[in-house]
């Protein structure tokens, strides 16, 4: 009789199938990680908003907090209704004060989580921020814009 040791072959079949499953799971996971993530746009949008506000302040001076949105032609719902997704802060540069960290500083302030700007590279959930220094009159100001806004996928 020619015995072929079929049990060994059957075990190898299961091993092969398991290998395919593991490799397949890895490929599926990798593809979901790559294509599942959205197109990172927060930096560009923060930069565009920074430039927009800079131009506004240069042309029109510093408005009151209550008139800032209308004066600079911003969408009120975008800034105020965004639940901390959009942050704007204008601080006078003073020795010993950090516009990012100091909660009491700020001529114009929308939002509060400015210290999170410094953690941008450490996680997806932290906002992306841009800042610049502008001189208005004889005073130097620091302008910070933070953006943690994402596109929304909703039912049509």
Partner 1 sequence: MRFIKNKKAEGSDLFYDNAIYLVLLGVFLVVMVAFLQQQRHGAAVWEDYYVKAIVGLIERSEGGEQVTINVQRGTEVAVGNKMEDFKKMFVIDNEKNEVCVQFSVGKKTCMSYFNNVEILDWELKLGRPINKLHFRIWEGKNA
Cβ closer to partner 1: 9 or 104?
Answer: 9
CB of 141 to partner 1, least distance (A): 20
Cβ-proximal residues to 113 (8 Å cutoff; 6+ apart), any chain: 84, 87, 127, 146
Cβ closer to partner 1: 34 or 103?
Answer: 34
Q: Tell me if residue 9 falls in helix, strand or coil.
A: helix
Closest listed residue to residue 125, CA positions, set 137, 133, 116: 116
CB of 6 to partner 1, least distance (A): 10
CB of 25 to partner 1, least distance (A): 11
- Residues lying near partner 1 in the complex (CB under 8 A): 9, 13, 16-17, 20, 23-24, 27-28, 31-32, 35, 38-39, 41, 44-45, 48-49, 52, 73-75, 77-79, 86, 149, 151-156
In this structure, are residues 85 and 152 in contact, taking their beta carbons and an 8 Å threshold? no
Cβ closer to partner 1: 78 or 119?
Answer: 78
Cβ closer to partner 1: 105 or 109?
Answer: 109
Cβ closer to partner 1: 3 or 122?
Answer: 3
CB of 139 to partner 1, least distance (A): 26
Exposed/middle/buried for residue 93 (C-beta within 10 Å: 0-12, 13-18, 19+): middle
CB of 7 to partner 1, least distance (A): 14
Q: Determine the Cα–Cα distance for residues 154 and 151; give it in Å rounded to an integer.
A: 10
Q: Which two three-digit tokens encode residue 36?
A: 């599942």
Q: Determine the Cα–Cα distance for residues 65 and 82; give it in Å rounded to an integer.
A: 17
């Amino acid at each position: 009789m020619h015995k072929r040791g079929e049990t060994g072959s059957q075990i190898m079949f299961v091993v092969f199938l398991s290998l395919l499953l593991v490799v397949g799971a890895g490929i599926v996971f990798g593809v979901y990680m790559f294509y599942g993530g959205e197109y990172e746009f927060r930096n560009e949008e923060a930069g565009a908003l920074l430039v927009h506000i800079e131009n506004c302040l240069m042309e029109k001076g510093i408005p009151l907090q209550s008139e800032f949105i209308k004066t600079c032609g911003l969408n009120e719902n975008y800034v105020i209704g965004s639940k901390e997704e959009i942050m704007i802060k204008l601080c006078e540069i003073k020795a010993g004060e950090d516009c990012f960290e100091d909660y009491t500083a700020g001529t114009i302030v929308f939002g509060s989580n400015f210290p999170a700007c410094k953690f941008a590279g450490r996680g997806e959930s932290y906002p992306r921020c841009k800042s610049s220094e502008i001189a208005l009159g004889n005073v130097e100001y620091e302008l910070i814009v933070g953006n943690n806004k994402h596109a929304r996928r909703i039912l049509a």
